[in-house]
Amino acid sequence: MVWSDHELEVPVTLYVVAVETGGQVLGAFDGERMVGFTFAVPGIHDGRAYLHSHMTGVLAEARNRGQLKLEGKEYVVHDGEIVHIRHSA
């Protein structure tokens, strides 16, 4: 578990809504085991489409092995529809 705070839990249906409306849900795997994820929802700011990176989490033992947020950005850039990403504080 990345976080132990149940207030941070996101309903599975919200991930589906994010993907179906142009958002992004990506997983990081070590073999068959998911060790991290990133979750972004689509938005519009100043007339420009963007992805709001809402959550990224990686298990402690898998941190610093990759660049999950950067890989997510590359995925968006290659898709070509949204190239601006904003991150939560």
Q: End-to-end CA distance of the chain, in Å?
A: 21
- pLDDT higher than threshold 60 for residue 12: yes
Q: Give the pLDDT of residue 70.
A: 53
pLDDT at 8 over 70: yes
Q: Which domains does the chain have, with CATH numbers?
A: 6-87 (3.40.630.30)
pLDDT at 83 over 60: no
pLDDT at 71 over 60: no
Amino acid identity, position 37: F
Print burial letters for 12-27: b (CB count within 10 Å at least 16), e (below 16): eeebeebeeebbbbee
Cα 74 to Cα 46: distance, rounded to the nearest angstrom: 23
Distance CA 82, CA 45 (A): 12
- The residue behind tokens 């578990």 is 1
- Note the pLDDT of residue 13: 92
pTM: 0.65
